[in-house]
Amino acid sequence: MTFDAKHFLKTISHSPGVYRMFDAKGDTLYIGKAKRLNARLASYFRGALNTKTQALVARIADIQVTVTHSETEALLLEQTLIKELRPPYNILLRDDKSYPFVFVSDRHPYPALEYKRARSRRDDGRYLGPYPSSGAVRETLSLMQKIFRIRNCEDSVFAHRTRPCLQYQIQRCSAPCVDYISEDDYRQDLEHAVMCLQGKSEQVTEQLTRQMEAASQSLAFEEAARLRDQVQQLRRLQRQQYVDTDGGDADIFALAQRPGALCVSVLTVREGRMLGARHHTPDNGLDLGPEALLTDFISQYYLGQVHEPVAEIITSHPLADGELLQGVLTEQAGRQVRLTHRVRGHRAQWQQLAQTNAEQHLATQLANQTQLAKRFEALREALGLAEVPKRLECFDISHSHGEATVASCVVFDHDGPVKSDYRRFNIEGVAAGDDYAAMQQALTRRFKRLAEGEGKRPDLLFVDGGKGQLNMARDVFTALGVTGVGLVGVAKGTTRKPGLETLFVETIDHSLSLEGSSPALHLVQHIRDESHRFAIAGHRARRDKVRRTSTLQEIPGVGPKRRRELLRFFGGLQGVTQASREELARVPGISDNMARAIHQALHG
Helix (H) or strand (E) holding 78: helix 71-85
Q: Which of 524, 482, 492 is nearest to 380 (CA)?
A: 524
Summarize pLDDT for 309-352 with one digit per residue, the tens.
Answer: 888 999 999 988 788 888 888 888 888 999 999 888 778 888 98
Q: How many CA atoms lie within 13 A of 327 on its CB side?
A: 3
Q: Are 278 and 253 in contact (CB under 8 A)?
A: no
Q: How far is residue 35 from each of residues 16, 18, 68, 72, measured CA to CA in Å?
A: 4, 9, 10, 9
Q: What is the pLDDT of residue 583?
A: 84
Of 85-89, 91-95, 376-380, 500-504, the poorest mean pLDDT is in 91-95
* Cα separation, 326 vs 250, whole angstroms: 14
Q: What is the pLDDT of residue 119?
A: 63
Q: How many CA atoms lie within 13 A of 43 on its CB side?
A: 10
Helix, strand or coil for residue 528? helix
Residue 122 has pLDDT above 70, yes or no: no
Kindly calculate the radius of gyration of the chain based on its CA atoms and give it in whole angstroms. 29
Mean pLDDT of 556-563: 85
Which DSSP letter does residue 244 get?
B
In sequence order, what are the residues at sequence separation of 6 or more whose Cβ sits closer than 8 angstroms to the Cβ of residue 343? 314, 350, 351
Q: What is the pLDDT of residue 500?
A: 74
Mean pLDDT of 464-471: 86
Residue 461 has pLDDT above 90, yes or no: yes
pLDDT confidence tier of residue 97, bands split at 50, 70 and 90: very low
Q: Is the peptide bond before 130 cis (omega within 30 degrees of 0)?
A: yes
Q: Which of 7-11, 63-67, 539-543 has the highest mean pLDDT?
A: 63-67
Beta bridge partners of 28: 22
Summarize pLDDT for 149-162 with one digit per residue, the tens.
Answer: 888 888 888 888 88
Of 87-91, 98-102, 426-430, 471-475, the poorest mean pLDDT is in 98-102
Q: Which of 106, 295, 117, 261 is nearest to 190 (CA)?
A: 106
* Cα separation, 380 vs 388, whole angstroms: 5
Q: What is the pLDDT of residue 19?
A: 92
Of 80-94, 184-198, 246-260, 473-487, the poorest mean pLDDT is in 80-94
Helix, strand or coil for residue 196? helix
Mean pLDDT of 107-123: 76
In sequence order, what are the residues at sequence separation of 6 or more whose Cβ sits closer than 8 angstroms to the Cβ of residue 90? 30, 31, 82
Q: Which of 531, 522, 520 is nearest to 443 (CA)?
A: 531
Q: What is the pLDDT of residue 482?
A: 86
| Angle, vertex CA 199, rays to CA 197 and CA 200, nearest 5 | 105
Q: How far is residue 178 from each of residues 62, 104, 191, 356, measured CA to CA in Å?
A: 55, 21, 21, 52
Residue 37 has pLDDT above 50, yes or no: yes
Mean pLDDT of 398-426: 87
Q: What is the pLDDT of residue 389?
A: 92
Sign for the pseudo-dihedral over CA of 56, 58, 59, 64: positive
pLDDT confidence tier of residue 1, bands split at 50, 70 and 90: low
pLDDT confidence tier of residue 392, bands split at 50, 70 and 90: very high
Q: What is the pLDDT of residue 339?
A: 92
Amino acid at 180: Y
In sequence order, what are the residues at sequence separation of 6 or more whose Cβ sits closer than 8 angstroms to the Cβ of residue 5? 44, 45
In sequence order, what are the residues at sequence separation of 6 or more whose Cβ sits closer than 8 angstroms to the Cβ of residue 351? 252, 254, 314, 316, 341, 343
Looking at the chain, the whole-number percentage of residues with pLDDT higher than 90 is 14
pLDDT confidence tier of residue 445, bands split at 50, 70 and 90: very high
CB atoms within 10 A of CB 409: 22
Q: What is the pLDDT of residue 92?
A: 52
In sequence order, what are the residues at sequence separation of 6 or more whose Cβ sits closer than 8 angstroms to the Cβ of residue 82? 31, 90, 92
Provide the CA 340 distance to its chain's centre, in angstroms: 24
Residue 566 has pLDDT above 60, yes or no: yes
Q: Which of 408, 507, 407, 418 is nearest to 456 (CA)?
A: 418
Which DSSP letter does residue 46 get?
S
Q: What is the pLDDT of residue 132?
A: 52
Beta bridge partners of 19: 32, 65
Residue 120 has pLDDT above 60, yes or no: yes
Q: Are 57 and 89 in contact (CB under 8 A)?
A: no
Order of strands across the sheet that contains 312-315: 273-280, 261-270, 250-258, 312-315, 338-340
Q: Are 33 and 41 in contact (CB under 8 A)?
A: no
Amino acid at 195: M
Helix, strand or coil for residue 108? coil
Residue 243 has pLDDT above 50, yes or no: no
Mean pLDDT of 371-392: 89
**For the chain, what's the residue count?**
604
Residue 226 has pLDDT above 90, yes or no: no
Q: Are 137 and 129 in contact (CB under 8 A)?
A: yes
* Cα separation, 416 vs 392, whole angstroms: 10
Mean pLDDT of the chain: 82
Q: What is the pLDDT of residue 115?
A: 82
Residues 32-38: contacts with CB under 8 Å, at least 24 apart: 32/78, 33/71, 33/74, 33/75, 33/77, 33/78, 34/71, 34/74, 35/71, 35/74, 37/12, 37/13, 37/65, 37/67, 38/9, 38/12, 38/13, 38/14
Summarize pLDDT for 270-295 with one digit per residue, the tens.
Answer: 767 677 788 888 876 556 788 888 88
Torsion over CA of 489, 495, 497 and 503, rounded to 10 degrees?
A: -20
Q: What is the pLDDT of residue 423?
A: 92
Residue 36 has pLDDT above 70, yes or no: yes
Higher local confidence (pLDDT), 604 or 468: 468
